[in-house]
Structure 1
């Protein structure tokens, strides 16, 4: 079969779809499948001019709203770039962003298009304070789900909780498939080590949706109790300066290392002890599976796909969203008892290895792709 994996931007960032799709392509190509990767270069801006129309709603009633206008222009740019660069024919196109799914179906109407929805742009914007819930941007972005359902051949998402979220915006939610993300186990090698002072690590984009303000407050509580630790914060984003100022105000700046963006944090993640990320929303939470595969104990919030990965007290700890005191308590528990921490990390590693292996994803996708094969 000749299959196109259609991403939005190039797979530069760690985590999620960027961590998975290139490895999927490599595995399929190694087994004799003809698969290629396509994406929109970030330098392509304001190139597309072709008119955009949707079948299930009129987007023009949102015209003039900056986020909507930018979304539509990006759609036009993707159309322009696709027409410029793609010349082949495909048996199946697998899209990984709503714009790519709709554009590919527009330009390849007779080709089956499978669409994996990896996350919710509108929820991220709401949590990051960029748009208001039920405002015009929110209405526009959630209307895209119904458009996708109407036009692409199959919708897939990455967790049952996110499928439930999508069910509010589509006609037949029962038709949405669920294929959790998977990871090439060879990329992750737990390392036996002993840290005299517990080493905490988080990897994420520095935005309000990740709950890093709650993490800093929890760390301040740990310091007030006299518990030593170092927090390694990997990632960059618009609130980095705000977080650094908050760390100074809370008197924990000396306990935190701000690394900025890092391409392959999994290379040295195994040398730490606890992965923690108090996200306010996650469709799946790929970095938790990656941390577990690195042999770390994991602490997260009881929300979305995180709660599907972590069974509280068995392979990690869950705390309520926006509860700094509960987060501090969970961290204290894993920091102060190395044997308990080891037991959590061992079970987490076993579950991640068995549940989120790339081999499992390959098998599930192969079955989906073959169901559209023309005999």
Structure 2
């Protein structure tokens, strides 16, 4: 069976699905499955010129909006690049972005196309202050879910929570499958260590949606209570200057290390103690699974797919979104009690191994792929 994994970002991009798929490809290829990757290079911009139309709505209603126009141009670019680069057929195409799925089905209508919806672009834009809720951009982006349902052969998403979110925009939500992201156990694994001062870590893009302002306020409260800690903040983004200034004003700059972008944070993530990320929205929250596989105690918000990974008090702690006192109390609990912290990390590792290991996810995907195979070879 010859399968194409159709991405949006190139595989060398940090984090998320783009960095996960090559490891999945390796597992499949070793087992005799032919799998290739395809994506749109960043240098391809403004090349496509073909007209774009959808079957379930008229996108021209939103024409003239900068975000919509940019999305449509990227769609045209993906068509141009696909026509230029793909010269053979596949038994199955598994897409990981709406543009990739819709373009592939347009150009290869006889090939089964599966689509995994990994995240909500419209929620990200709203939370990051780029668009207004209930505005034309959100209407356009959410209309694409119905278009995907109409044209893709199978919709999959990464959490039950996000499946419920999609239910408002499709006609048959029960047909949406749920397969979480998988993580290579060889990349993420615990390392024995002992830190005299509790080491907190977060890994994310520095944008408002991640709730890092709430984290800094909670850390300031920790310091006031006399709880020592170091926060390692890995990632970059548009609000980094504001966060650094906030840390100075809260008198916690000495307790925080701003690393900026890092290609392989998993190389030293296991040497920390607690992973914390107070996101305001997460369809799945891959970094929580990565941290769990490194044996860290988890602290997250009770939103999106995070509660599907964290059972409060069992393998981590959950707090409400934007609740500074609750987050400070949770951090104080895990930072001040090494035995409790160790037990949370141990159980988190067990759960992640059983639920999110690459081996398990590969088996789940094989079961779906086999539905579309044309022979009995694999």
Query: What TM-score comes out, normalization by structure 2 length?
Result: 0.98
Structure 2 residue runs without a partner (length 5+) = none
> Could you give the per-residue CA deviations for residues 245-294 of structure 1, whole angstroms, max 9, x where no partner exists?
11111111111110000011000001111000000000000000000111
- 3-state DSSP of counterpart to 1:371: helix
Partner of 2:214: 214
- What is the rounded CA distance, in whole Å, between the counterparts of 2:16 and 2:69 in structure 1? 26
Task: Compute the displacement of 1:136 (Å).
Answer: 0.2
Q: What secondary structure does 1:232 align onto?
A: strand
What do residues 288-325 of structure 1 show as CA deviations (whole Å, max 9, x unaligned)? 00001111111000011101000000000000000011
* Other-structure match for 1:163: 163
Offset at 1:19?
3.4
Instruction: Give the alignment's Cα RMSD to 1 decimal.
Output: 0.7
Note the alpha carbon deviations across 1:209-249, whole angstroms, 9 max, x for none. 00000000000000111111110000001111111111111
How many residue pairs get aligned? The number is 375
2:9–2:18 CA contact under 8 A, matched in 1: no
- Map residues 1-375 of structure 1 onto 2, 5 A cutoff: 1-375=1-375
Whole-Å Cα distance in 1 between the matches of residues 4 and 40 of structure 2?
14
CA distance in 2, matches of 1:158, 1:189: 22
Structure-2 separation of matches of 1:298 and 1:13 = 25
Structure 1 unaligned runs (5+)?
Answer: none
Please give the per-residue CA displacement for 1:302-352, whole angstroms capped at 9, x wherever unaligned. Answer: 011101000000000000000011000000000000000000000000000
Secondary structure of the residue that 1:187 maps to in structure 2? coil
CA deviation string 1:35-92 (max 9, x = no partner): 1000000111000000000000000010000000000000000000000001010000
- Cα deviation for residue 12 of structure 1 reads 2.8
Tell me the SS of whatever aligns to 2:372.
coil
Contact 1:102 1:152 in 2 (8 A): yes
Aligned mates of 1:286, 1:71 — CA distance in 2: 25
Is 1:19–1:183's contact at 8 Å kept on the other side of the alignment? no
**1:118, 1:44 → 2: CA distance?**
23
Q: Secondary structure at the match of 1:168?
A: coil
Deviation at 1:189, TM superposition (A): 2.4
SS in structure 1 opposite 2:133? Answer: coil
TM-score by length of 1: 0.99
